[in-house]
Amino acid sequence: MTDARDSNTARTIDHPLGPTPHVAGSLPGPNAAAMIERDERRSSPSNTRDFPLVAARGLGSVIEDVDGNRFLDFAAGIAVCSTGHCHPRVVEAIEKQARSLIHLCGSDFFYPPMVELIEKLASIVPGSQPQRVLLTNSGTEAVEAAFKLSRHHSKRKWVIAFYGAFHGRTMGSLGLTCSKYKQRAHFGPVVPMTAHVAYGDAAAIENTLFRYKMAPDEVAAIFVEALQGEGGYVVPDPKFLHDLRAICDKHGILLVCDEIQSGAGRTGKWFAFEHAGIQPDIVLMAKGIASGMPIGAVIAREDVMDWPPGAQGSTFGGNPVACAAAVATLDLIEKEYLANARDLGAVLQDRLKSLAAKHKVLAKPRGLGLMCGIDVVNPSTGADDPAMRDRILQRVFADGVIMLPCGETAVRFCPPLCMTRDEFDLGLDIFDHAVAQSS
């Protein structure tokens, strides 16, 4: 079949999987439609599938579906596939480890890939204090563990987070999440003694919470995303993070930076908090540290991670295969992709500013490195326009590029850190065209 995209978006880049983007006919294709129908008969309705993509394989920054359509990936599995899809060195590390040891349980025994990974993670957190590392299966488990660690270390109960925050969906982390009401609806009561204030408003902690709700010496920790993710890719003023650090220092509160989406080099530094020049007490990682293998980490100062044996553990956390993938991933990020995220990130921020100047429906370009967002608004009123945002994203997908929403009305840009300049420019051109055609 011929490519279904119009002449304005028919440009492609050469790729080992074939010319990309390539969309033959309407989406979903016949094989994808059949698979979606089977899935929807049995899968949980809680899954959110905005696009009819049934992936068959991926390589680098390209995904191919079961009908042979190829897409440029500007979502990276929600910032997970940091080295791209199926990077040869990550695949090699997984295959090698799977042939020697798949599982043993790192809470009970020792094995080299776990030791290598925790040493690496401890070394990349800035500062002179020694760090200790607990490995988990996911980001939400890292949040749960940090929640417990904060209470255990401080012997305090209250924990503070922010409106717009996303820290996970399990019951403990859900007490901190405050991104969309439907993520919490009908699940209460969540873990008690959690409170929220507006993101960016550190003064509200002293002026409101400490005045009306709890004494500061009852607060164990403040959980914060140094660059808010699901809440809309919101970049705070660096002063906000400095003020949080000062409040924590003043009252003996632990500062926990959730770097699950923004860490692992995505912002051009290992962590988003580094752009503000602060030092957290606890750092949380997951998503991009293993290129798609399930793993998370709690990294804390040695004097903070002081709980006894048996206080926390996991059957699968720090699985040998996931650890091997993470060691290979972090090495690639350090040697190649930190610089690429920084360089392409500068290009992306300039390009988003140009697009906002060109299209009245785009506003507030922002971001750090390859974690950027832009809002879609009504050009007449300037009000948020989520329906327009969704139309744009559907048009982008039909033209062969994968992008995801975030917040109420934002488009997020979080491509693999390995993306080439040609792939990058073409994806942004297609987005530009989709905005023009949809608005």
239 exposure class (CB count in 10 Å sphere: 0-12, 13-18, 19+): exposed
Count of positions (residues) in the chain: 439
Residue 1: pLDDT band with limits 50, 70, 90: very low
Kindly report the number of other CB atoms within 10 A of residue 270's CB atom.
23
pLDDT of residue 419: 97
Note the pLDDT tens digit of each residue in 172-193. 888 898 877 777 777 778 889 9
The whole-angstrom distance between residue 278's C-alpha and the CA centroid of its chain comes to: 20
Note the pLDDT tens digit of each residue in 387-428. 999 999 999 999 999 999 999 999 999 999 999 999 999 999
Residue of 244, 245, 217, 241 whose CA lies nearest to 154: 217
Note the pLDDT tens digit of each residue in 353-367. 999 999 999 999 999
Residue ranges of domains in the chain? 88-333
Note the pLDDT tens digit of each residue in 117-142. 999 999 999 988 999 999 999 999 99
CATH of 88-333, one of 3.40.50.300, 3.40.640.10, 3.40.1790.10, 1.10.10.10: 3.40.640.10
What is the spatial order of strands in the sheet that 362-368 belongs to?
A: 362-368, 371-376, 410-413, 404-406
Joined together, the tokens standing for residue 108 give: 């009970």
What's the whole-number mean pLDDT along residues 100-126?
96
Note the pLDDT tens digit of each residue in 8-18. 667 999 999 99
Whether pLDDT at 28 is above 50: yes
Joined together, the tokens standing for residue 153 give: 């270390």
CA distance 19 to 197: 48
The reply to whether the predicted model has a pTM over 0.75 is yes
CA distance 388 to 206: 39
pLDDT of residue 170: 87
Note the pLDDT tens digit of each residue in 310-356. 989 999 999 999 999 999 999 999 999 999 999 999 999 999 999 99
